[in-house]
Amino acid sequence: MNWDVIAENAPQYVQGAKLTLILAFGSLAISCVIAIPLAFLRNSRVNAVRYAVSAYTLLFRGTPLLVQLFLIYFGLAQFGGIRASFLWPWLSSPLVCVMIAFVLNTTAYTTEIFAGALRNIPIGEVEAARAFGLSRWKLGTRIFIPAMLTRSLPLYGNEMIMMLHATSLASTVTLLETTGVARRITLDNYIQFEPYVTAAGIYLTITFVIVSTFQIIQHRFAGYLNTRTG
Amino acid sequence: MRTFFQTACAIALASTFLSAGYAAAETVDVATDATFPPFESIDANGKLVGFDIELMEAICKAAELDCNIIAAAWEGMFPSLVEGKYDALISQLTVTEKRRKTFAFSDIYDHPIFRFAAKKNANLEITPDGVAGKIIAVQTGTPMDAYVTAHMPKATIKRYDSGSAPFLDLANGRADLVLGYQAQIVESFLKKEEGKNFELTGPEMTGKDAKEFGEGVAIAINKKNTKLLEDINRGLAKVREDGTLKALMSKYFGK
């Protein structure tokens, strides 16, 4: 065992963990905002709208995230037109490419989670709200969205954890997040166990925080969904 | 009954050892990271080709070894050698002090030249201050990575998993410089369409200029496998004597 190497590289792990957090929570925050309207469109009565959103979620759930990332990072760069365009200063940055890929991917999953929850809201809740004469806007913000989000909590917690772990792919396009740091140490020092166990510990700690937070949120906001006995 | 079990166990154990010994004697698994033309790459037919591949085949033939050359991922090769999944690695591996602690190395078979590549007329001065703020692309865990990390701290260093990815990002403008083996830069990049606006720049560097470039390149072998080390060195000596090594050098690098 050679833990001295890990101790020497502790600052790198701190940087890596910071980047992991930025990638995971940055993409989750953006995608959450986009997924809410998309979930409504996914259940739209207009066929064209519903199919368009379905096609998007199928495309991004049906292909591996790594392939999506390579297409955006290396694939787009192959076209001279894109390199000459105003987009290039953005697309030349690995961070921007990674965020685009992650947001597109996790939004697809989140949209389906939210849309499923939306379909499962008991019609009674909606009818009661209508009977009170709520406007469409208030019906959405006071009834549909809160009911959709609370019902999505368990599945969404899972999606957050999956996204956190998926950030390890960012190191394939030169972003040195937690896994990238571990890989670099293995290649510099030819030890395997210690660097990856350290990385695993970092992911486990973050996951633990996510799970605990979700339990609190679930208890506080989704308690009304629990089956009451007695 | 007890003796029956004991005998059965003894037979099982013995046959395991025998078969393991037999298998090891039969084929030598040599791994290579085939993203590194002209040294090692995969051609359009999926066949491994390149200087290292031909050299390894010649060594195996000379030493009467039955070798099986396998394309492996760069980062997975090293632990797999330590664990014994592969018996040897040939991948233009530079011999460094750090690597010697973990692997055994054959005799050195070449002294590669390291160079930078940049856009034509970029007029970059290859000094620690000249490259300040520039982006240098290298493959992770290579001597090139070690060199720029140690000597060019003011530059931004981008590290890639494969030997070919740094050139993709040099070509599309995400990186200003690539540090690589001169032959690799010329053969796999400058001679191609994507590389026509690029050129070699800065001084020719070898292990004599910086310790990060190592003593030369050699075949890495599991430290415990002293027999294979002897065999490979014997094969290498033969290949050197009969002119095969020289012929390969002139075929690939014209030297």
Q: What is the pLDDT of residues B86-106, one digit of tens each?
A: 999 999 999 998 899 999 999
B168/A74 CB distance under 8 A: yes
Q: Which of B102, B165, B168 sits opposite A190 (nearest CB)?
A: B102
Q: Which of A29, A31, A18, A86 is nearest to A57 (CA)?
A: A31
Split into its structural domains, chain B has a count of 2
Residue B242 resides in a domain: yes
Whether the CB of A184 is below 8 Å from some CB of chain B: the reply is yes
Mean pLDDT of B59-73: 96
Q: Which of B67, B79, B69, B60 is nearest to B42 (CA)?
A: B69
B37/B161 same-domain check: no
Q: In this model, does residue A44 exceed pLDDT 90? A: yes
User: To which H or E segment does residue B137 belong?
Assistant: strand B135-139
B105/B229 same-domain check: yes
B119/B205 same-domain check: yes
Q: In this model, does residue B111 exceed pLDDT 90? A: yes
pLDDT over 70 percentage in chain B? 90
Q: In this model, does residue A62 exceed pLDDT 60? A: yes
Please give the pLDDT value at position A1. 80
Residue B122 sits in a domain of what CATH number? Answer: 3.40.190.10
B201/B239 same-domain check: no
Burial of A155 (0-12, 13-18, 19+ CB in 10 A): middle
Q: Which residue, among B80, B91, B96, B172, would best test binding to A if mutated, counting the most A CBs under 10 Å from its CB?
A: B172
Structure tokens at A60: 């991004």
Distances (CA, A) of A144 to A118, A157, A186, A223, A227: 7, 20, 50, 17, 20
Whether the CB of A50 is below 8 Å from some CB of chain B: the reply is no
Whether the CB of A189 is below 8 Å from some CB of chain B: the reply is yes
Q: Which of B75, B82, B158 sits opposite A187 (nearest CB)?
A: B75
Q: Which of A83, A184, A192 sits opposite B172 (nearest CB)?
A: A83
Residues of B with CB below 8 A from A94's CB? 158, 174
Query: How many residues belong to chain A?
Result: 230
Mean pLDDT of A207-218: 95
Residue B38 resides in a domain: yes
Q: Which of A91, A64, A90, A89 is nearest to A75 (CA)?
A: A91
In Å, how far is B156's CA from the nearest CA of chain A?
11
Residues of A with CB below 8 A from B101's CB? 190
B102/B128 same-domain check: no
DSSP, collapsed to helix, strand or coil, labels residue B22 as: helix
Mean pLDDT of A33-58: 97
Residue B16 resides in a domain: no
B181/B230 same-domain check: no
pLDDT over 90 percentage in chain A? 89
Q: Which residue, among B35, B149, B174, B222, would best test binding to A if mutated, counting the most A CBs under 10 Å from its CB?
A: B174
DSSP-assigned letter for residue A227: P
Mean pLDDT of A1-5: 88
Please give the pLDDT value at position A226. 82
Mean pLDDT of B22-29: 69
Whether the CB of A7 is below 8 Å from some CB of chain B: the reply is no
Residues of B with CB below 8 A from A78's CB? 172
In words, the CATH class of domain A3-120+152-222 is: mainly alpha
Please give the pLDDT value at position A224. 86
Please give the pLDDT value at position A105. 98
Q: Which of A35-44, B44-53, B72-81 has the lowest mean pLDDT?
A: B72-81
DSSP, collapsed to helix, strand or coil, labels residue A132 as: coil
Q: Which residue of B has its CA nearest to A78?
A: B172
Residue B236 resides in a domain: yes
Please give the pLDDT value at position B21. 46
**At CB < 8 A and 24+ separation, what contacts does A6-11 make?**
A6/A185, A6/A194, A6/A195, A6/A198, A9/A181, A9/A185, A9/A195
Please give the pLDDT value at position B22. 43
CA distance linking residue B221 with residue A178, whole number of Å: 30
Q: Which of A41-50, A122-131, A218-227, B239-248 has the lowest mean pLDDT?
A: A218-227
Phi, psi of B179 (to 5 degrees): -105, 130
The letter for the amino acid at B188 is: S
B125/B195 same-domain check: yes
Residue B18 resides in a domain: no
Residues of A with CB below 8 A from B165's CB? 74
Distances (CA, A) of B30 to A158, B38, B53, B56, B234: 42, 18, 10, 9, 17
Q: How confident is the model at residue A120 (pLDDT cuts 50, 70, 90)?
A: very high
Residues of B with CB below 8 A from A174's CB? 158-160, 169
The letter for the amino acid at B75 is: E
Mean pLDDT of A99-119: 98
Q: In this model, does residue B1 exceed pLDDT 60? A: no
Distances (CA, A) of A166 to A170, A224, B201: 8, 32, 38
Q: How confident is the model at residue B25 (pLDDT cuts 50, 70, 90)?
A: low
Please give the pLDDT value at position B254. 81
Q: Which of A92, A184, A189 sits opposite B173 (nearest CB)?
A: A92
Q: Which residue of A has its CA nearest to B143?
A: A188
CA distance linking residue A108 with residue A60, whole number of Å: 6
Residues on B contacting A at a C-beta cutoff of 8 Å: 74-75, 78-79, 82, 98-99, 101-103, 140-141, 146, 158-161, 165, 168-169, 172-174
pLDDT, mean over chain A: 94
Please give the pLDDT value at position B150. 95
pLDDT digits (tens, 9 = 90+) for A150-198: 999 999 999 999 999 999 999 999 999 999 999 999 988 888 899 999 9
Look up the domain containing B170 and give its range. Answer: 114-213
The letter for the amino acid at B157 is: I
Distances (CA, A) of A80 to A75, A77, A88, A212, B97: 11, 7, 10, 48, 44
Please give the pLDDT value at position B253. 87
**At CB < 8 A and 24+ separation, what contacts does A207-215 make?**
A207/A161, A207/A164, A210/A157, A210/A160, A210/A161, A210/A164, A211/A157, A211/A161, A214/A153, A214/A154, A214/A157, A214/A160
Please give the pLDDT value at position B23. 47
Q: Which residue of A has its CA nearest to B98?
A: A189
A183/B79 CB distance under 8 A: no
B58/B32 same-domain check: yes
Q: How confident is the model at residue A80 (pLDDT cuts 50, 70, 90)?
A: confident
Whether the CB of A174 is below 8 Å from some CB of chain B: the reply is yes
